[in-house]
Amino acid sequence: MRWCKYVKVILVLLSATIFTVTIHKVPYGHFKDLLNNSVVERLFHEEPCACMEHCLAASDDEWFAEHFRKDVPPALSLNNSVLPNHIFKWWQSLQSTRSKANYSQVIKELFSVIPGEEWYRDASPSRCRTCAVVGNSGNLLGSYYGPVIDNHDFVFRMNKAPVQGYEKDVGSRTTHHIMYPESAIHLDNNTHLVLLPFKTLDIQWVTSALTDGSIKRTRFKVIDKLQANKDKVMVMHPAFMHYVHKTWLHIKSRRSYPSTGFLVLIFAMHICDEVNVFGFGANSKGTWHHYFEKTPKSFKRTGKHSGGIEHETILELHERRLIDLYMGW
């Protein structure tokens, strides 16, 4: 992927040469037509990213523009942690019981342990960040997608997804692992932990799990002392979760909320220039199961998630060439 930067430089230099050689020889009307050529146009209008095939920021798709909001922060930081009242109420409604904890104090304690900076506000014309969002579908088995997945800059995995023993199909690299307390696993020192906070207690848990291990139970017993690099931990913003819920899925019911996989996909679209999706949906036989299950059991129910809407939206993104969806087997 890195060679595209050098190609772009060559094109710009070549275009500049054409410009200086021809400006005195081409009548204005013809020169204006020449400017419509996409190669020459790049000399005057900087590309939003350096990717040659896909660049989400460059999309002029009206449907995408209606859904995608750059102003919504993907991750919590010290500077953006205050929640509007309607978002706070929605977030609290996801919890079976209302938390009595003081949210401001919970955030203060969180950022005494993990970085309080804003992550991934580094988009530029010179960047081409490619990302693989790897779901847990059984359609990965026999796909041999491993090398393709590993070739991305960022590789997102979620919940308890194992890698060992499945490398040829799911890859071996993980840069970001998304989880909530009940689905947590230990991570190596090089992997980012991205917490999905479905409740205030989830934020309290990650603070505890990275320090004294005082919280041992949320909905049920959880890992109390988590192995993870504190400097690589971030928390998905409740406002971002609300935005996915309302803007992308148009969910009206408070009893339904986006799945982990769909949240991660939209998260990736906000911090990446090119997004490729693996391990979502059913296998070729129409069976929905996890690739790591020893005795796979088909599951159709999506619990509190709007599975049908999510699947249709992912297909829409693929058909509009905003993402590439690898269907597996």
Report the distance separating Cα 259 and Cα 309, nearest Å. 11
What is the rounded distance in angstroms from the CA atom of residue 314 to the CA atom of residue 308?
A: 10
CA 2-166-162 angle, to 5 degrees, is 95
Question: How many CB atoms are closer than 10 A to CB 9?
Answer: 12
Cα 88 from Cα 95, distance rounded (Å): 11
What secondary structure letter does DSSP report for 63?
A: H
Q: Are 329 and 289 in contact (CB under 8 A)?
A: no
What's phi and psi for 92, nearest 5 deg? -65, -30
Pairwise CA distance, residues 209 & 195, whole Å: 12
Annotated catalytic residue 176: no
Catalytic residue among 257, 270, 289, 291: 257
CA distance 37 to 40: 6
Which pair of tokens denotes residue 151? 């070739």
- Coil/strand/helix, residue 77: coil
3-class secondary-structure state, position 325? strand
Q: Please indicate whether residue 305 is annotated as part of the active site.
A: yes
Catalytic: which of 152, 177, 245, 305?
Answer: 305
Where residue 313 falls (left for φ over 0; alpha for ψ -120 to 50; beta otherwise) is alpha
Catalytic residue set: 257, 305
